Structure 1
Amino acid sequence: MISDQEKLRPVRRMLTGVLAFQLVLAAFLFLSDIGRDFSLPTTGPRAPGFEQPTRPGDQTRRYDPTMPAGPGVETGPMPDRLILDPVDGSVALLTGRIEAGDGERIATQIAASPAPTIAIHSPGGSVRDALEIGRAIRQAGKATIIRDAEVCLSACPYIFAAGTTRTAAEDARIGVHQHYYGENTLLPAFLAVQDIQRGQGEVMRHLDQMGVDPMLLTHGLSTPPQSIYILTREELESYDLVTE
């Protein structure tokens, strides 16, 4: 006869396994909440520093959202949140990191701005907020520009893509990489695949609606989040990301 104690052993093993999984999951959540830029250690060569010049075939550089501008250009620290300030009567400058909640705030400011052109200088950030800002720019019928030695990286190109006309200086740097769609930077890869795929679909639809070739995303999908792929002038033109 099997004792009650022996009957409970499989249940205890199962509960122990569930508890162990929950502890591991909690550890991942804790580590990822320490900082937005936490990532697992990787092996292999690191990409060259962002300050290094690029050339066709050598376009991947290290990504740091606090970086200033292009090689040899110092513009000061990047604002932690997006700021829209008038430059003159025809241009307003949108600069800083794109944080959650910036979309609605900046969209309201863009709608109220009399400037017909939005200059952009941003290392990127929240994809959803970038898409919301982009839609506001297109609805307001504004052009977008990226000035000499300034940057538009990560989610920022989705804002730039919304301009009715889109101009980038020769020394501007526009770059893409893999991104996430939620608050957590570590877990979505294996716990929110559906959300990631849905987010990629939203970005592709956005680019298509703005007249930009969604194949632009192929470079981002193959570039890890800690690196950035700098698009060449030929690529900017072939994907219709620039119109002038």
Structure 2
Amino acid sequence: MTGRMTAPDPEPAPLPRPLPLPSARAVLRACLLAQVLVAGAVALDTGWGALDRIGRNGIRTETQSPISPGDQRRPFSPSAVPSRLGPEQPSEGPVRLPDPLPDRLEFSIRPTEAFGDVLLLAGAIDPGAAPRLRGYLADLDAPPDMVALHSPGGSVRDALDIGRMLRDDGLNTLALPDAACLSACPYIFAGGVERTASRTAWIGLHQHAYDDGSILPAFLAVEQIQAGQGETLRYLSDMGVNPLALAHGLETPPDDIYLLVEEELLRYRLATAMID
């Protein structure tokens, strides 16, 4: 019996070999490399920021128009605080404001008819300002009647410590006519038992960096920022200030400043009284 022969079925093609999975050591090395790259980027950004501050002798004012509702976000630089006045025009308030401002917080007693002996805190809030102020207050023969502020901000940690110090000592705070209290400075202002603000003062908030200058992986940096924001919210609540005031700061990038108008200062109880 004869029949047609059929070709055998072709052998199936071999399956591709699976790629080897990375070892645990390789994964750890990749994570470490990613953290090093993040740290390098943070260090580079921090380094450029530090270079911008080297050799800064002081902080000068620049003329800006009055604020009004809906027109409150302005460009911010710690080297130029807002002012209604020209560089050669003295302040009309009871205390002559220094211009240029010191590059670290300085303390001086200024006698006035309207407010008694005023302790003026003027300049950038430098790390270590809080313990220096504690020593200064301890050396005074009598506590000041008011604590006035003129600062572009600086160390959030020292601002919170100073604010708590003023509250513990039962002191009142004052934002003088044409004085600037920006960035971290409003936290010191919030520490006063009574908080008086001039209608021509500049009180403003923006986003802050809550760090100690160390290089951290990204996830730890975010964790630290959130912890700092939580501490600031709790601080404002403890001082009797509505923490919602901080929302304006959280919505405003560091290169801008959100200037609070009278209605907001009173509504959030950041100020307890307004003066001309």
Q: TM-score range by the shorter chain?
A: 0.7 to 0.9
Deviation at 1:33, TM superposition (A): 3.0
Secondary structure, aligned partner of 1:87: strand
Structure 1 partner of 2:17:
none
Q: 1:28 aligns with which of 20, 35, 41?
A: 41
Q: 1:107 aligns with which of 114, 129, 134?
A: 134
Distance change (3 Å), C-alpha of 1:185 and 1:12 = closer
Q: Does 1:53 align with 2:66?
A: yes
Structure 2 partner of 1:46:
none
Distance change (3 Å), C-alpha of 1:162 and 1:73 = farther
Deviation track 1:180-213 (CA, whole Å, cap 9, x = no partner) reads: 1113499787532222122112111111111111
Q: 1:181 aligns with which of 207, 210, 223?
A: 210
Percent identical: 45
Q: 1:78 aligns with which of 77, 101, 113?
A: 101
Secondary structure, aligned partner of 2:241: coil
- Please identify which structure carries the higher strand content: 2
- The runs of 5 or more residues in structure 1 that have no matched partner are 1-6, 39-48
- Taking only aligned residues, the RMSD between alpha carbons, in angstroms, comes to 2.9
Amino acid at match of 1:210: M
TM-score (norm 1): 0.82
Amino acid at match of 1:81: R
Secondary structure, aligned partner of 2:177: coil
Deviation at 1:17, TM superposition (A): 3.8
Q: Report the Cα distance in structure 2 between the residues aligned to 1:202 and 1:239, rounded to whole angstroms.
A: 18
Q: Report the Cα distance in structure 2 between the residues aligned to 1:66 and 1:124, rounded to whole angstroms.
A: 11
Structure 2 partner of 1:4:
none
- Higher mean alpha-carbon deviation, 70-79 vs 168-177, is at 70-79
Distance change (3 Å), C-alpha of 1:138 and 1:73 = farther
Q: Please give the residue correspondences for 1:171-210 in structure 2 after superposition, counting only pairs within 5 Å.
A: 171-184=200-213, 190-210=219-239
Runs of 4+ in 1 over 6 A off after TM superposition: 9-13, 185-189
Deviation at 1:77, TM superposition (A): 2.1
Structure 1 partner of 2:147:
118
Q: Report the Cα distance in structure 1 between the residues aligned to 2:82 and 2:242, rounded to whole angstroms.
A: 26
- Higher mean alpha-carbon deviation, 188-197 vs 10-19, is at 10-19
Deviation at 1:225, TM superposition (A): 0.9
Distance change (3 Å), C-alpha of 1:58 and 1:76 = same
Q: Report the Cα distance in structure 2 between the residues aligned to 1:73 and 1:190, rounded to whole angstroms.
A: 45
- Please identify which structure carries the higher helix content: 1
* Native 8 Å contact 2:63 2:86 kept in 1: no
Q: Does 1:170 align with 2:199?
A: yes
Q: Report the Cα distance in structure 2 between the residues aligned to 1:92 and 1:175, rounded to whole angstroms.
A: 21
- Higher mean alpha-carbon deviation, 154-163 vs 184-193, is at 184-193
Amino acid at match of 2:77: D
TM-score (norm 2): 0.73
- The runs of 5 or more residues in structure 2 that have no matched partner are 1-19, 52-61, 88-97
Distance change (3 Å), C-alpha of 1:141 and 1:61 = same
Q: 1:157 aligns with which of 182, 186, 192?
A: 186
Q: Report the Cα distance in structure 2 between the residues aligned to 1:189 and 1:228, rounded to whole angstroms.
A: 25
Secondary structure, aligned partner of 1:24: helix
Q: How many residues align?
A: 229
Amino acid at match of 2:136: Q
Amino acid at match of 2:38: L
Distance change (3 Å), C-alpha of 1:206 and 1:13 = closer
Structure 1 partner of 2:9:
none
Q: Report the Cα distance in structure 1 between the residues aligned to 2:121 and 2:24, rounded to whole angstroms.
A: 58
Deviation track 1:44-100 (CA, whole Å, cap 9, x = no partner) reads: xxxxx9824322111101111122442334352221111111112611100111121
